[in-house]
């Protein structure tokens, strides 16, 4: 059942991890700013994604513009199909997202069958259900009696003046990759299979933004498009060799068949049972598994859900969503899609530019397997799942993977003694020169400083005391166990 507050809500607010944007002007819905701690965690998650995905051999990363001309989205199908169901309140005239109102209603009744059926429901069915159950406007509480219609989610603008060309803020980061693919393939001497990746902002004019970072109007995506020739046997490619030598497909994941609870299964079993289209798609499943593991998610904390045919995006032949159970209910954090040749074919047709490439001696229009990760949602899920409500210590704290924490170390002089402060600042500067981020504080009691360090997930706190002045040793306190040990400060790495 959907809950209203994250387990880490008090930490998020107290430490300004993220907060509503434009506060002095009434906080328009769907926009959030990140404070220094939130931004640091977000950047570390992005860094982990780069290690797991773009830095893989044969993968490259680019950055493209966030605005694109209308023909791009005509070819991609977004102009005609990138919609959500809306029902407008007859009293306050605000838009309500029809499927989400119903999902919330069914969740409160704990009606899982109805939630599953909702995924296949058309707008006529949604309208009938809303009226039958006399559901009300989320903003003013008036009973909803209007029609359910489709609403396009793209933000439209113009470049230039007068009869300027219509432009749209991108609703996904993928299209720029498809635009650039042919030139990137040629200029970077790429060979199939290869992947082009990027991380950046995307924009969706959400009908009713909700649940903080879950449904935003401006958000960050991390995407990878794997281009391959389906006629080429996967095992004969460098990816295939890598998979065999590292036993990638033996990896166990949680997989939820349509309408069923998740169960443990190997990636190889997904291939053998035709639950995924091919090994290329399966490889992207592993890439996501590798990324999730690197940022501290256990295999049992998330699952890959099989998407119903009726739910598939217009460009996809097969989709798996990665889902996590949070205090807000189940949220989707990742999508893995078999885009086939849809995008390259559509852009070739509308632009008149042949986007096929030479793969050896053969001319090929590659197929595409996509891995698309919502960075903001990953951050929110992590804050929720990794909050420890520690009754013994008397405070909540974040059990973050060390590489994801906003700082590598906290550095505390035991007291505001000039010699202790000088030594603490010296150690802090030494570690900064080694590329480590340090959180320095000499305010409040040492216990309160430990609590503040713990709550934002810093793995270790270094305390400089009077013994440190005599023998150059410091106390290192472990966040998880609260145990302390003394070492020479020069040995800290």
Give the right CATH number for 407-491 from 3.40.30.10, 3.40.50.800, 3.40.718.10, 3.30.9.10. Answer: 3.40.50.800
Q: Which pLDDT does position 259 carry in this prediction?
A: 80
Residue 281 dihedral angles phi and psi, to the nearest 5°: -60, -45
Q: Which pLDDT does position 2 carry in this prediction?
A: 43
Domain ranges of the chain: 9-79+157-387, 86-152, 407-491
Structure tokens that stand for 104 in this block: 């919330």
Contact 37, 11 (CB under 8 A): no
Instruction: Give this prediction's pTM.
Output: 0.93
CA dihedral 341, 345, 347, 349 (to 10 degrees): -170
Could you check whether 9-79+157-387 and 407-491 share the same CATH topology?
Answer: no
Q: Which pLDDT does position 1 carry in this prediction?
A: 34
Give the right CATH number for 9-79+157-387 from 3.40.50.10420, 3.30.479.30, 3.30.930.10, 3.40.50.2300. Answer: 3.30.930.10
Residue 407 dihedral angles phi and psi, to the nearest 5°: -135, 155
| Mean pLDDT of each 10-residue bin along the chain, 493 residues long | 75 96 90 98 98 96 97 94 93 92 92 88 94 93 94 92 85 96 95 97 93 96 98 96 94 93 97 96 98 97 91 86 95 96 96 94 96 98 97 95 97 96 96 96 95 97 97 97 96 91
Q: Which pLDDT does position 468 carry in this prediction?
A: 97
Q: Which pLDDT does position 162 carry in this prediction?
A: 67
What DSSP designation does 64 have? -
Give Cα 297 distance to the centre of its chain: 13
Give CB contacts under 8 A, 24+ apart, made by 383-389.
Answer: 383/6, 383/8, 383/11, 383/12, 383/17, 384/6, 384/7, 384/8, 384/326, 384/327, 384/328, 385/297, 385/301, 385/324, 385/326, 386/8, 386/296, 386/457, 387/6, 387/7, 387/8, 387/11, 389/7
């Amino acid at each position: 059942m959907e809950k209203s507050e994250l387990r880490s809500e008090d930490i998020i607010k107290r430490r300004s991890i993220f907060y509503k944007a434009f506060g002095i002007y009434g906080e328009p819905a769907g926009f959030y700013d990140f404070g220094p701690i939130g931004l640091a965690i977000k950047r570390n998650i992005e860094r982990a994604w780069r290690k797991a995905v773009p830095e893989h051999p044969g993968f490259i990363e680019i950055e493209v513009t966030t605005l694109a001309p209308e023909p791009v989205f005509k070819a991609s199908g977004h102009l005609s199909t990138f919609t959500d169901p809306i029902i407008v309140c007859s009293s306050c005239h605000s838009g309500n997202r029809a499927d989400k109102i119903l999902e919330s209603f069914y969740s409160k009744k704990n009606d899982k069958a109805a939630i599953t059926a909702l995924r296949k429901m058309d707008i006529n069915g949604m309208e009938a259900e809303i009226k039958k159950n006399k559901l009300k406007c989320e903003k003013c509480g008036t009973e909803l009696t209007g029609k359910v219609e489709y609403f396009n989610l793209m933000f439209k603008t113009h470049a230039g003046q007068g009869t300027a060309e219509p432009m749209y803020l991108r609703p996904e980061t993928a299209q720029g990759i498809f635009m650039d693919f042919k030139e990137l393939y040629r200029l970077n001497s790429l060979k199939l299979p290869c992947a082009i990746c990027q991380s950046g902002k995307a924009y969706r004019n959400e009908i009713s933004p909700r649940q903080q970072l879950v449904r935003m109007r401006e958000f960050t995506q991390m995407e990878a498009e794997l281009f391959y020739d389906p006629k080429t046997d996967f095992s004969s490619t460098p990816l295939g060799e890598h998979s065999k030598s590292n036993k990638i497909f033996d990896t166990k994941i949680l997989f939820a068949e349509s309408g069923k609870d998740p169960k443990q299964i190997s990636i190889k079993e997904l291939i053998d049972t035709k639950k995924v289209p091919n090994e290329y798609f399966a490889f992207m499943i592993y890439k996501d598994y590798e990324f999730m593991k690197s940022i501290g998610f256990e295999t049992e904390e998330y699952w890959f859900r099989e998407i119903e045919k009726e739910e598939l995006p217009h460009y996809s032949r097969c989709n798996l969503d990665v889902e996590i159970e949070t205090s807000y209910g189940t949220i989707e954090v990742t999508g893995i899609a078999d885009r086939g040749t849809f995008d390259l074919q559509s852009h070739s047709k509308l632009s008149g530019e042949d986007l096929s490439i030479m793969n050896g001696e053969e001319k090929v229009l590659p197929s595409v397997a996509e891995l698309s990760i919502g960075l903001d949602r990953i951050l929110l899920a992590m804050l929720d799942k990794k909050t420890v409500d520690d009754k013994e210590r008397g405070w909540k704290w974040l059990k973050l993977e060390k590489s994801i924490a906003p700082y590598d170390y906290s550095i505390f002089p035991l007291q505001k003694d000039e010699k202790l402060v000088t030594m603490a600042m010296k150690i802090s500067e030494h570690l900064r020169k080694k590329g480590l981020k340090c959180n320095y504080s000499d305010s409040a009691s040492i216990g309160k400083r430990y609590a503040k360090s713990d709550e934002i997930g810093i793995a270790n706190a270094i305390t400089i005391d009077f013994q440190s002045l005599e023998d150059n040793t410091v106390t290192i306190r472990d966040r998880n166990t609260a145990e302390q040990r003394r070492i020479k400060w020069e040995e800290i790495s």
